Structure 1
Amino acid sequence: MTTEDRARAGFADFVRAENAALTRFAYLLTGDRHHAEDLVQTALARVAVHWERVDDPAGYVRRTLCTQAASWWRWRRARPPEQLGGSVPERTTGPVEDPDLRLTLRAALGRLTARQRAVLVLRYYEDRSESETAALLGCRLGTVKSQTRHALARLRVLAPELAELVGRAPEEVSR
């Protein structure tokens, strides 16, 4: 087996092992299943080109997903609704089973900035440490801490119903 064949096999194994987790991560960043799948495919195509040189492919792909999701949100905000087709985004089944909680969580995450959304998804959905999150996002540890604090404070104000849906009063939600 040649080096190129081993690289292809390694990449294929990586995709099989990580595709579902990467798609869930992208879904939480975007709130749209189809867009999440597109982002994952684009990110995997990028890592495939550099496969032999990438030390941490999962981190590389997640960082690429965060960057692409932020770019997509910036592009979308810069366009009037008529240019975007004016369609209502479809409701898809996500990783949260309770439909009320899923819809509330989706709406709440949509109210955050792309960076805040990425930090919360990495920290609380993927259970990453602050230092892992900083490395994946290419920022400082202090940035992760402040973005987490600001995002949670913003959610407490904009979506207090999240605390009620998970069975806690808003003041009991971790700060």
Structure 2
Amino acid sequence: MIASTRGEPDGFTEFVRARGGSLHRTAMLLTHDHAAAEDLVQTALAKAWQNWHRADQPEAYVRRILVNEFASGWRRKWRGEVPTDELPERPLDDGDRLDTRAGLIDALARLPRQQRAVVVLRYYQDYTEEQTARTLGISVGTVKSHTSRALSALRISPHLAATSEGGRR
């Protein structure tokens, strides 16, 4: 691809305008933190910009960078987080209700990073097991085991159990 007169690769700005929101939603599901999601998208786009000429399928290229950047956190020893026995409760809407979406997002946030990445790719991005394995650099069997464990955890999550029984908490 040829660079524009502004020094940026052709089509990059248009891609960011068209797909930036979708990339941010994916990053939010992975990180469960607005600022971290913005940082993740910005990092992925910066890396994609450097090699934009390689992007035959720009969306797949940037999503792979996004997920790989998120996954690289698995291997870091320190993430700035301090583990606790119990997580603090979040305030509920109207004092006693959570809608299904909020319950799902809370339950998803409590999954380990690898399981969360697999669930987001498989069920939010509609990737196959093979595509998920390729994107994360793991085996199909590992994708299956992470999926199984994640779905089991989501089934017993109190955040989802409360909303699945008639939509009330």
> Which TM-score tier does this pair reach, normalised by the shorter chain?
0.7 to 0.9
CA gap of 1:144–1:72, structure 2 versus 1, over 3 A, is: closer
Gaps of 5+ in 1: 82-87, 92-97, 169-175
Deviation at 1:64, TM superposition (A): 2.5
Gaps of 5+ in 2: 92-96
Alignment partner of 1:4 is 2:3: yes
8 Å Cα contact 1:59/1:136 also seen in 2: no
Residue type matched to 1:76 in 2? R
Describe the superposition over 1:9-45 as per-residue Cα deviations: whole angstroms up to 9, x where unpaired.
3212221221111100000001112211111011000
Deviation at 1:160, TM superposition (A): 4.4
8 Å Cα contact 2:104/2:159 also seen in 1: no
Pick the structure with more helix per residue.
Answer: 1
**Aligned counterpart, 1:162:** 160
Q: How does 1:1-175 map to 2 (within 5 A)?
A: 3-5=2-4, 8-72=9-73, 74=76, 75-76=78-79, 79-80=81-82, 99-157=98-156, 159-166=157-164
CA gap of 1:106–1:161, structure 2 versus 1, over 3 A, is: closer
CA gap of 1:21–1:166, structure 2 versus 1, over 3 A, is: farther
Task: Quote the Cα distance in structure 2 between the aligned partners of 1:123 and 1:164.
Answer: 24
Identity %: 49
Deviation at 1:71, TM superposition (A): 4.1
The SS at the match of 1:55 is: coil
The SS at the match of 2:127 is: coil
CA gap of 1:167–1:124, structure 2 versus 1, over 3 A, is: farther
**Aligned counterpart, 1:84:** none
The SS at the match of 1:4 is: coil
TM-score (normalised: structure 1): 0.71
8 Å Cα contact 2:106/2:159 also seen in 1: no
Residue type matched to 1:33 in 2? H
Describe the superposition over 1:68-123 as per-residue Cα deviations: whole angstroms up to 9, x where unpaired.
3344475326x548xxxxxx9x99xxxxxx95334322331222111110111111
What's the Cα RMSD here? 3.0
CA gap of 1:154–1:130, structure 2 versus 1, over 3 A, is: same
Residues matched between the structures, number: 152
8 Å Cα contact 1:109/1:117 also seen in 2: yes
Deviation at 1:152, TM superposition (A): 0.7
